[in-house]
Structure 1
Amino acid sequence: MSNFISKIRERIALYKLDKQLKKEPRNKRLHNLKTASTAGIIYDATEEANHQIVKELIKELNEENITSEALGFIDKKKRDDNYIGDNTYSFACRGDFSFFYAIKQESIQTFIDKPFNLLFVLVNEQPFAVDYLGQLSKAEFKAGKAGLDNDLYDFMIELKADKGISELKKQIIHYLKLLNNN
């Protein structure tokens, strides 16, 4: 029964999302590491190891003179005390969304509304809330793992099942360095 309710909930959320995206389309633009000045990162913060990978990514982007912010999604009803946000990091959990996935947290809405040049979605599996956040993002160029949501990404990396987000991060950076934006 719970699965049935989840499906209906997601369908209604997708309907509302589709209406919102039609009303407020984003500006798509190709970016590489030379043309981007801002980046957003959405990642799975449920695993502590992923937070370290995102720290490394932010450091790499800073070396390229790209200002970054990260939004970590914790796939739990409530955040633990060890998830404290600042100017660079903010966190979301299932409790930060209404029943139909409307955003209830102002810091999450602020992140989504920023027109980042690049958006990295660093997840192996994509919970509905992460897909929803990625779709709503006003980022100009979105990159992530192939096979999760082909409508979300402008640039996708195909990875073997045993590879994690560390490899995904590495491959996205590698190809963004190669990408020529003439």
Structure 2
Amino acid sequence: MILKVFKEKSIKKRINKLLSERIVKSDNTVAKTLGVLVNVDEFNDLAAFEKLAKDFKIQPINLKIIGFSGDKKNEPHGIDTCYYLEDFSRNGQVKNIELQSFLDEDFDILINYYAEDILELKLLSVLSKAKFKIGTLQLDERINDLIIKIELKDFKVFKTELFKYLTILNKIN
């Protein structure tokens, strides 16, 4: 119990530090790479993101999807990497090599598709080196550059709104 509280405080402190140091880069270049961070316990239709990337003319090789699941026995299929709470150290360091390589990739767009307030998901969103971060409404609005307020099950609405805003921002053709 004490270790869990220590871990939470450590991760919260790290998130706040990283968010205060973040420099937002704005450019009008068309997105060529897409990363997706999804809580598979809340939304498990990962093929929807593959179709979204195809509609946005992003090559399948330039799409990376990672997921989070609270239950290690419930590993989803069709996902690049799935991670769990055990993949983080007490001070919030990532222990999973595949997950770290995802974070080190310089995506043009990162979609944070989750609604639950899970510290490890927020930490991954903040640690990502993506140029432009998009997400659903979360408690900490500092994480994403663009927030689309929807229910996670309404993926069609999310896709429509995302297309509209990314067209306005010249991120897609």
- Scaled to the shorter chain, the TM-score interval is 0.7 to 0.9
What is the correspondence of 1:1-182 to structure 2 with a 5 Å cutoff?
A: 2=1, 6-19=4-17, 28-30=24-26, 35-47=30-42, 49-61=44-56, 63-64=57-58, 67-76=62-71, 78-80=72-74, 82-83=76-77, 89-159=80-150, 162=151, 164=153, 166=155, 167-180=157-170
1:29 maps to a residue whose letter is K
Is this contact kept in 1: 2:113–2:152, CA < 8 A?
Answer: no
How far apart, CA to CA, are the structure 1 residues paired with 2:137 and 2:66? 20
The alpha carbon displacement at 1:129 in A equals: 1.1
- Secondary structure at the residue paired with 2:35? strand
The alpha carbon displacement at 1:68 in A equals: 1.4
- Secondary structure at the residue paired with 2:45? helix
If the length of structure 2 is used for normalisation, what is the TM-score? 0.78
TM-aligned CA distance change 1:148 to 1:60, over 3 Å: farther
TM-aligned CA distance change 1:21 to 1:110, over 3 Å: farther
How far apart, CA to CA, are the structure 2 residues paired with 1:121 and 1:92? 15
Query: 5+ residue gaps in structure 2?
Result: none
RMSD: 3.0
If the length of structure 1 is used for normalisation, what is the TM-score? 0.75
How far apart, CA to CA, are the structure 1 residues paired with 2:137 and 2:167? 19
Is this contact kept in 1: 2:42–2:114, CA < 8 A?
Answer: no
Deviations 1:54-91 (A, max 9, x none): 23223323x25582111111122x25455475xxx211
What is the percentage of aligned positions where both structures have the same residue? Answer: 24
How far apart, CA to CA, are the structure 1 residues paired with 2:65 and 2:25? 21
Query: 5+ residue gaps in structure 1?
Result: none
TM-aligned CA distance change 1:45 to 1:135, over 3 Å: same
- Secondary structure at the residue paired with 2:46? helix
The alpha carbon displacement at 1:6 in A equals: 4.3
Aligned residues: 169
